[in-house]
Amino acid sequence: MSAYMIVNVDVKDPAMYEEYRTKVPALIRKHGGEHLVRGGKSVILEGDWKPSRLVIFRFPDIASAQRLFNDPEYQPLKALRQLASTADIVVVEGS
Domain that holds residue 77: 3-42+53-93
Q: Are 85 and 39 in contact (CB under 8 A)?
A: no
Evaluate if residue 92 carries a pLDDT over 90.
yes
Q: Give the C-alpha separation, 76 to 3, whole Å.
A: 24
| CATH code, domain with 20 | 3.30.70.100
Measure the CA–CA gap between 37 and 41, rounded to whole angstroms: 10
Q: Do the domain assignments include residue 81?
A: yes
69 is a domain residue = yes
**pLDDT exceeds cutoff 90 at 32:** yes
Total number of domains constituting the chain: 1
Of 79, 59, 76, the closest CA to residue 67 belongs to 59
In a domain, 48, yes or no: no
Residue 29 has pLDDT above 90, yes or no: yes
Q: Tell whether 47 is covered by a domain.
A: no
- The answer as to whether 89 is a domain residue is yes
Q: Is residue 86 part of a domain?
A: yes
